[in-house]
Amino acid sequence: MLIKIDGKTYKGHPGETLMEVARRNGINIPSLCYKKGFEGLGRCRLCLVEVSEGKRSKIVSACVYPIKEGIEVTTITDEIIKMRKDIILLLLLRAPDNEYIQQLVKEYEVKAPERYIQNDNDDCILCGLCVKACEKLGTKAISLVNRGITKKVSTPYDDPSKDCIGCGACAETCPTNAIKLEESNGIRTIWNRDFDLVKCSICGKYYTTLDALKFIEDKLASNEEHICDTCKKKSTASKFKESFQHIY
Amino acid sequence: MHDTTIRKKILVCCGTGCLANNSYSIYERFVEKLKDNPNITVETSIKATGCNGLCEKGPVVKIQPDDISYFKVSIEDVDEIIEKTIINGQIINRLLYLDTNQKKRIVNHMDASFYKHQHKIALRNIGEIDPLCIEDYIERDGYKALHKILFEMSPEEVIDEVEKSGLRGRGGAGFPTGVKWRTCASFNNFPKYVICNGDEGDPGAFMDRSIMEGDPNTIIEGMIICGYAIKSNKGFLYIRDEYELALKNMQAAIDNARSHGYLGKNILGSGFDFDLEIVRGGGAFVCGESSALMASIEGNVGEPRAKYIRSVEKGLWDQPTVLNNVETWANIPPIILNGANWFKEIGTDTNAGTKVFSLVGKVKNTGLVEIPMGTKLSELVFDIGGGIINNRPFKAVQTGGPSGGCIPKEHMDVPLDFDSLSKMGSMMGSGGVIVMDDTTCMVEIARYYMDFLSEESCGKCTTCREGIKLMLNILTNITEGKGELEDIDVLESLGNTIIKASLCALGKTAPNPVLTTIRYFRDEYIDHIVNKKCPAGVCKNLTTYFIDEETCIGCGICRKKCPVDAISGSLKEVHVIDEGICIKCGNCFTACPKDAVKIGGAAYAY
Ligand SMILES: Cc1cc2nc3c(=O)[nH]c(=O)nc-3n(C[C@H](O)[C@H](O)[C@H](O)COP(=O)(O)O)c2cc1C
Ligand code: SF4
């Protein structure tokens, strides 16, 4: 299926979203709640673009818009820039001190009137990626609760969650680094709960929690060596090299 | 012995409003008193009916075939009604409806100004039948439309008829119902589902509740007809949890319809299967939105999704689904029975039929009103509503629920239909109409709705959640006297972004109350911001009351009405308000017979 983005023609597959086609082709549509491999969430609203079908055109959010044959997409118009600025302003008022939001503020030259700034800062912009990441793992320890201005991400009743394995996937996907993950003396603290950390058998650094290891071992029904990602990469790389040395 | 040639029907309203005023005891008293009463020579039947619409004048008791309607009946009146009206055919004047427009008491409520202008289709049976009695419904042509479609019409013919009628969805958006059914029918993907939206989240609206309570069978019949038309065998009714009576009556009606062969397998021997199930809604406003509602039925969080693929294609559990509003369903059986042309004759070209409005606020007669589409707003407020309470100056009307808009008195001639209301920057919504007088502050109204929506938005999109919050903050500042002129521009500009950039219709309409009040009452915003004055005397920071020396006649009424003794003055002398004591309740302002109490701005502004 062929579509046009900013005048150029691109190929897409039925069922793909506009964002997927754009990212694959290196076209930058800003977003905070989109992550490759995740379904689009349509939450942050930064990915608004204009789509024309014949004579009609409308504003859609690219991360949830399924492409259609023959559409023409414009990713930047005055109207879209104005909307993005307003959205960034709203994010800025929510998370005034957040460095990731500040980057957007600079890029789009947004200024918040002093009078509108309130003292209820929250780095979390409710993009929902952490909840999705946790859901994908199958842990479902956190969810979006409440509605309206009281909406937030939390464990059930804000209590330490039984289901959490302390793996930190949520913190890793967070686009604004809003999830608190602290480590000291072999203990990781996240979502109000302490987890014992495990050392890598090669480099000796703490790299994951005992609960996370157990969870994966149960799931895969395997008992692998405890090796951190960095060392794992290194060892595959050296194995790779070895096998090539035999060839040449 | 009973004379069976004369039958008297006593209809006791047992809608939620009347029940709250003890109407069920009245019903029981009638039953008890009439049982084996040797003085009664006619055959009587007593019915507990659904809501008559004029709740504030309830409990309502109607006697047929004499067409006598009694209002504000109490349990003590029952004996007198039996003695005088049932036995001796006399009318009890005291209990008749007092029509403020016609300035007289009225025997048959249908002659009252409140009812005279009405045209009942969706509400046709309510107040006339016992909702728990399927025979009552059948007696008034119930399930005839079902017979007709099952044995005389093809599914395509049913869709043609609904489409030709021009019926548009009564849940708010006004989407053509026939088109929705046709699109859904075009997908060859089974199973398909039929859903009734009985969430009615709009505070102040109660037409859907009334229909579910008072005439549940019409909804059931409408849904079966749709099931037949789109080839679906399963329907859901999503009803909010607080609607106890509606839930009870709907469930009873479903069970009853099933045992009569109208629901279940092989309906009336036609070979068509269809059944219904009730799902209780949690009561969030946003769960009335179609995709959030379906998510909620599926057991997920009630958040809307992007509808680039519509629910007629992928709805409930990703299957083709038709969702219609309660009132929409109630219109289906009469359309099938009387034909599309009959329906099209009512209302206007592009807005066929009637709409039920719930008329509330500072208007004399409040309640449910069903009128042809295109009726003028002024007719609703003055002819039917009887005008403003205490004949105060009329200021504006808010239509369309929390994200509707305010229409000023200059535009009172606007026809009440989907398109005209949208053009005004407001909307039909579910049909809520709130009447406002001069003591309503338009900035405060806008602030109030933003407060409501800030809690009722699902909170998914940045624009809706944070945008409404910012609007609320700005409006709160203005009502507290901390506004600046640039705030108005920010509200307008931000409002437009929220409308365009939000995901669902809640966000896309949320700025309406703000944008319409700025559009029609900009001066009032400027008064708040520049002159530090709330002309309606609502924003306490921006209000002072004083008595005009020239006009005051020293009657002392205001002094007596003041709850904190802030007013002094002797009889026939000019009275004075002590600014330091006054709590700005405004009692003196509305009480003064000479309009000598004036509203000034913030004390500090002088
Ligand atoms: C925030 C929001 C709340 C809604 N609430 C209701 C409701 O309570 N009842 C209803 O019938 N429709 C409601 N709607 C409209 C529905 O989304 C949908 O359009 C309607 O139920 C379709 O039925 P209709 O075509 O018969 O009107 C709401 C829409 C929005 C955006
Ligand atoms: S517009 Fe508002 S209510 Fe609708 S999905 Fe977005 S946040 Fe939720």
**pLDDT of B552-577, one tens digit each?**
999 999 999 999 999 999 999 999 99
- A246 band by pLDDT with thresholds 50, 70 and 90: low
Residue B534 lies in a domain: no
Query: CATH number for the domain including B589?
Result: 3.30.70.20
pLDDT for position B308: 93
Q: Does residue B450 share a domain with residue B378?
A: no
Domain assignment present for B14:
yes
Bigger pLDDT: B114 vs B269? B269
- Confidence grade of residue B606 (pLDDT, cut at 50, 70, 90): low
Q: Does residue B179 lie within any of the structural domains?
A: yes
Q: Torsion angle, CA of B51/B57/B59/B63, rounded to 10 degrees?
A: -80
The per-residue pLDDT for range A108-162, each reduced to its tens digit, is 999 998 889 887 889 999 999 999 999 999 999 999 999 999 999 999 999 999 9
Residue B602's pLDDT is 87
Output the CA–CA distances (angstroms, integers) from residue B555 to B93, B420, B551, B567, in the order listed.
36, 47, 11, 12
Residues B430-477: tens digit of each pLDDT: 999 999 999 999 999 999 999 999 999 999 999 999 999 999 999 999
Nearest to B467 by CA among B487, B497, B443: B497
Q: Are residues B74 and B173 in the same domain?
A: no
CB contact under 8 A, B459 and A146: yes
Mean pLDDT of chain B: 94
Cis bond leading into A30, ω under 30°?
A: no
Structure confidence by residue, pLDDT tens digits, A25-64: 999 999 999 999 999 999 999 999 999 998 999 999 999 9
CATH of the domain at B431: 3.10.20.600
pLDDT > 70 fraction of chain B, expressed in percent and rounded: 99
What average pLDDT score do residues B62-68 get?
A: 90
Which pLDDT does position A214 carry in this prediction?
92
Statement to judge: residues B393 and B464 lie in one domain? no
User: Are B340 and B359 in a shared domain?
Assistant: no
- Name the nearest CA neighbour of B361 among B479, B440, B414: B440
Give chain A positions within 8 Å (CB) of B468: 148-149
Task: Decide if pLDDT at B38 tops 70.
Answer: yes
Residues B448 and B431 in one domain: no
Taking 3-state DSSP, the helix, strand and coil percentages for chain A, each rounded to the nearest 5, stand at 35, 20, 45
**DSSP 8-state code for residue B380:** I
Residue B42 is assigned to a structural domain of this protein: yes
Give B368's contacts (C-beta < 8 A, 6+ positions apart).
B51, B53, B123, B206, B207, B210, B356, B357, B358, B359
Whether B57 and B183 share a structural domain: no
What distance in angstroms lies between residue B581's CA and the mean position of ligand 2's atoms? 45
Question: Looking at the domain assignment, is residue B19 inside a domain?
Answer: yes
Binned at pLDDT 50, 70 and 90, residue B4 comes out as low
Judge if B518 and B567 occupy the same domain: no
**Shared domain check, B456 and B596:** no
Of the candidates B529, B553, B574, which is a domain's last residue?
A: B529
pLDDT in the model for residue A229: 84
Q: By 3-state DSSP, what share of chain B in percent is helix, strand and coil, each rounded to 5?
A: 45, 20, 40
Same domain, B523 and B547: no
Cβ(B425)–Cβ(B516) below 8 Å:
yes
Nearest to B501 among A45, A115, A147 (CB): A45
Name which of B446, B354, B355, B439 is nearest B398 in CA terms. B446
CATH class of A1-124: alpha beta
What's the pLDDT tens digit per position in B345-376? 999 999 999 999 999 999 999 999 999 999 99
Question: B178 and B322 in one domain?
Answer: yes
Cα B51 from chain centre: 12
pLDDT of residue A243: 67
Whether B337 and B255 map to the same domain: the answer is yes
Question: What separation in Å is there between the alpha carbon of B516 and the centre of ligand 2?
Answer: 21
d(CA A193, CA A166): 8
Query: Tokens 């070979």 label which residue?
Result: B271
Chain A, residues 123-152, CB within 8 A of chain B, namely 125-126, 128, 143-144, 146-151
List C-alpha distances in Å: B52 to A228, B120, B127, B300, B371: 73, 11, 5, 37, 15
Q: Last residue of some domain: B495, B529, B563?
A: B529
Q: Is the pLDDT of residue B1 over 50?
A: no
**Can you give the CATH number for the domain in which B70 is found?**
3.40.30.10
Q: Which atom of ligand 1 is nearest to the CA of B197?
A: 11
Higher-pLDDT residue of B56, A30: A30
**The two three-digit tokens of residue B123, written as one number:** 């509400």
Q: What is the mean pLDDT of residues B277-294?
A: 94
Pocket of ligand 1, beta carbon within 6 A: B 169-173, 175, 197, 199-201, 285-286, 288-290, 323-325, 328, 430, 504-506
DSSP letter assigned to residue B430: T
Question: What confidence tens digit (pLDDT) does each residue in B70-87 have?
Answer: 999 999 999 999 999 998
Ligand 1 centroid to Cα of residue B197, in Å, is 7
Task: Give residue B565's domain range.
Answer: 543-600
Looking from the CA of residue B326, the nearest atom of ligand 1 is 11
| C-alpha distances out from residue A73 to A48, A66, A77, A84, A200, Å | 11, 12, 11, 17, 48
Nearest one of B221, A65, B183 to B175, comparing CA atoms: B183
pLDDT digits (tens, 9 = 90+) for B158-186: 999 999 999 999 999 999 999 999 999 99
In a domain, B115, yes or no: no
User: Pick the residue with more confidence: B37 or A107?
Assistant: A107
pLDDT of residue A231: 87
Whether B180 and B283 map to the same domain: the answer is yes
Q: How many domains does chain B have?
A: 5
Contact yes or no for B302/B292 (Cβ under 8 A): yes
Sorted by where each begins, the domain ranges of chain A are: 1-124, 129-239
pTM of the model: 0.93
pLDDT of B275 above 50:
yes
Q: What are phi and psi of B42, to 5 degrees?
A: -105, 160
B453 lines ligand 2 (CB under 6 A): no
Q: What is the mean pLDDT of residues B380-385?
A: 95
| pLDDT of res. B236 | 98
Indicate whether B125 belongs to any domain: no
Statement: residue A239 has pLDDT above 80: no
Look at residue B605 and tell me if it is in a domain. no
Given pLDDT bands bounded at 50, 70 and 90, which one contains residue B605? low
CA distance B311 to chain A (A): 15
CA separation, residue A166 to residues A35, A134, A213, A230, B569 (Å): 21, 10, 10, 19, 74
Q: How many CB pairs under 8 A join A and B?
A: 105
For chain B, percent of residues with pLDDT exceeding 90: 87
For residue B290, the ligand 1 atom closest to its alpha carbon is: 17
For residue B226, with 0-12 CB atoms within 10 Å meaning exposed, 13-18 middle and 19 or more buried, which class applies?
buried
Distances B227 to A118, B274, B307, B383, B479 between C-alpha atoms, Å: 52, 7, 23, 40, 51
